[in-house]
Amino acid sequence: MLVLGQTVKIHDYSALAKLKNLKVLGICASPVSRSTTIKVTDLEFIKEMPSLEYVDLAGVRLI
């Protein structure tokens, strides 16, 4: 399980594709501040993660 929160300065998560055995991934905005949006340039890396069973992208906006 990997949960990344409040990563507003990161937009490229493609390096996560190397985590081939990861089952749960969360990229989430702060639960305290609902106005925070995490901007992600591309979600294609998820296709390269064959073991992924659950993805949480709460507060993520594709740019």
pLDDT of residue 9: 86
pLDDT of residue 34: 59
Half-sphere exposure of residue 2, counting CA atoms within 13 Å on the CB side?
Answer: 15
Q: What ranges do the domains of the chain cover?
A: 2-62
Q: Which portions of the chain are predicted below pLDDT 50?
A: none
pTM of the model: 0.83
Phi and psi dihedrals of 62, rounded to 5? -80, 125
Query: What are the strands of the beta sheet with 24-28, ordered from one edge?
Result: 2-5, 24-28, 54-56
pLDDT of residue 6: 78
Torsion-angle region of residue 6: left (phi > 0), alpha (psi -120 to 50) or beta? Answer: left
